[in-house]
Structures are given as structure tokens and as C-alpha cells.
Amino acid sequence: MRTFRLPDLGEGLQEAELVEWRVKAGEEVAVDQPLAAVETAKAVVEIPSPYAGRIERLFAGAGDIIRVGAPLVEFEGQAADDAGTVVGAVESGGNILREAPMALGRAGGSVRVVPAARALARKLDVDLTMVTPSGADGVITPEDVQRVARILSETEPAEPLRGPRRAMAQNMAFAQAEVAPATIMEDADVDAWEPGADATIRLIRAIAKACQVEPGLNCWFESATLSRRVIRKIDLGIAVDTPDGLFVPVLRDVGARDTADLRQGLDRMRAAIVERRIPPEELRGATITLSNFGTIGGRYAAPVVLPPTVAILGAGRIRSEVKAKDGAPVISRILPLSLTFDHRVISGGEAGRFLAAAISDLALAS
């Protein structure tokens, strides 16, 4: 037999969720014929067959989480695995097994657990990281475990995160562990904007202008070597909210495109996300990010920087506000901005100048 294993998915991804099979056992397939659709990196992609031949066995079912290197399809013929694959294991999406750690660690320190409490937690299927200790010196007791078990019994069953939400959880955990974030906030007076102005396009243009003033915010940081790569072309990641979770498609070379071209590109990306047919390559390679959360609600935020990028600009909801102008009160339209940056790479001065440049561009009428 010849076994085909889930190939490397790129971007450091280690798993995928099987959406559906495009073939069945006993079927003859050709080289490059789609075998299965999997979801990862916030996109549904097809896995092509590396061989021509008859399928002997399919190793997973729809909804299963499969590790890179795990068996995917077995073909009839001489027994030989793919070169360069890594032995893995298929994990069912509904029952992903995790071995209990020997010691319970939390941010800010470790928590001690009496043996009886640990045994009870295993029996009642309680995750000890969810338990607040009440014992002396911060020890988790059996009573603590029972309290959490009672609460969990009144909730819906645990639902493993899938697809975009699973990728979002992994990316945010990675960012939290890697980045030294700092956030500065300021308001942009956009009263000069013409009626019906495209706020997203104006924000994109402002970011491009600000990158000319402080190009260091449009860069990738290599933490292993403590080095940065300043990037001339601005490939802007744009956070898009959907019922399935957060997507961040990349709008390429925004500094060299006119307004009409940018709007056309945005519309095309949003349509592809809604249809869940956006190519994986359009979700990779951002050099800086925009989160226009004000279209939903909120004023200021501390958006998350995802490595290797070092900055993200958040835009809140536009509001009307009374301001002093030439000694008299006037009502102006105000756009709140929040710039989060990786303080390992970017100084406060650089971030401040970047934000000031963006605000200056946003203040223009057109």
C-alpha cells in the first residue's frame, strides 16, 4: 500500500479540519484530482492527489481535526509512504485528547492541586485551569472542583473551536506570548470630509501616508535573531468580522493603487470571504493591519499585533463632538484611532509620528 499524509500547509500551521471528501474508497483517481476539502488558515482549500490509482482507505471523517503528517488516504499498490512526511495522528474534532500536565501553570505563577482534587477533576472532566483555588496558599481543593463541575453541568456541552475560530484562537495565543504590545490613542477631525466619503478607503490612504513618514511600522520582526525587515510595499491586512470568526485578507500594494482600484479590491475580497472561497495566499503576507471596528461599534481599543508584523491601526465609530475653534464652540465629526505596536521594535516616538501623519491625512477634505 502507499499512504498519502496531510502535507505541510504553510505558515507554520500544524492541523486542518476535514470539511468533506471529494472521493470514496474503491474509486480510481488521477494525479492532481481533488481528494478532500480541508479548512485551515481561515480558508477552505482542496488537497490534490499526488498519485494515480485506486483508493483503499480514507483515514478520517468530516469534522475531524487532522495533524500535518497524519495518514490521509491509502492507495492500493506497493507499500511506500510519501517522502518527507512526518508520522502523525488523526484527532477526532469532538474528542481532542490532551494529557494532563504534571504541574498546573498559569500566567503569573503556578497553582498547587491536592491529589484528591486532581483525581476528582479527571473523574468529573473538569479542566483545572478553569478552577479558582480556595485552599490555603492558593491550593485547589476537591470542593473547588465540585463547584466548577456544578457550574459546567448547567452550561451547554463543550464545543471544540473549528475553522476560522480555531485559527483565531491559535493566532491570538501566539501573539499574546510573542509581542510586547503598547497602544496610543488619538482623535482625527474628519469634519472636512465630503458627504458619503468612503471611510475605509480614507483609512487605507492615511496608513499609506503614515508609512512614508515612519516606514519602520511597515515591517516584519524576526524575534529569533532580533532583526527587522522594513518593507517598501504596503500589503495591508484588513480585519473582517463574520459570523464564523475573524478573517484578515490582504490588500496588496495599497500605496500604489487609486481609490477605485482599492474599493474594487475590497469588494472582491469581502465577496470571496462570504462565499468561503478566498484563496489561502490572500490571507498571508500582511505587512501592517487595519481594524475598522467602528463600523460595528466602539470608540477605542487595544487591537492585537500578529507577528511578524509590528503594528495595527484600529478605527472606532465616528461621532459628533463639540470642540473649540477660534474661541467658539463648534460641532465636528471625530474619528477615534488606536494604534497598537510591538514595543520591542517600535519606539513611542515612531508610533506617535505615524499616528500624527495618519491624522493629518484624514483631516483633508479629499
Write down the pLDDT at residue 246: 87
Q: Domain 104-153 is in which class?
A: few secondary structures
Q: Who's near 322: CB < 8 A, 6+ residues apart?
A: 329, 330, 331, 332
Name the segment(s) of the chain with CATH classification 3.30.559.10: 164-362
| Residue 32 near residue 108 (C-beta atoms within 8 A) | no
d(CA 161, CA 244): 10
User: Phi then psi for 147, rounded to 5 degrees?
Assistant: -60, -45
DSSP helix/strand/coil, 13 = coil
Which backbone phi and psi does 111 adopt, to 5 degrees?
-120, 135
pLDDT of residue 97: 35
For CATH 4.10.320.10, the residue range(s) in the chain are 104-153
Region for residue 83 given its phi and psi (left: phi exceeds 0; alpha: psi -120 to 50; beta: otherwise):
beta
Q: What is the pLDDT of residue 286?
A: 95
In angstroms, rounded to a whole number, what is the distance separating the alpha carbons of residues 239 and 248? 4
CATH code, residues 164-362: 3.30.559.10
Residue 89 is predicted with a pLDDT of: 35
- In whole angstroms, give the CA distance from residue 336 to residue 299: 6
Q: Determine the Cα–Cα distance for residues 307 and 292; give it in Å rounded to an integer.
A: 19
Instruction: Yes or no: say if 337 and 318 are a contact pair by the CB < 8 Å rule.
Output: no
3-state SS, residue 191: coil
pTM across the whole model: 0.68
> Quick one: pLDDT at residue 102?
34
For domain 2-91, is the CATH number 3.40.50.1100? no
Cell 490588500 found at = 251
366 residues of the chain, pLDDT tens digit each: 789 988 876 655 678 888 899 999 999 999 989 999 888 755 678 889 988 999 999 999 988 888 888 899 999 876 544 433 333 333 333 433 333 333 454 444 456 788 888 889 989 988 888 888 888 777 888 999 999 998 888 888 878 888 888 888 888 888 989 999 999 999 999 999 999 999 999 999 999 999 999 999 999 999 989 999 999 999 999 999 988 888 999 999 999 999 999 999 999 999 999 888 888 889 889 999 999 999 899 999 999 999 999 999 999 999 999 988 888 999 999 999 999 999 999 999 999 999 999 999 999 998
The count of residues in the chain is 366
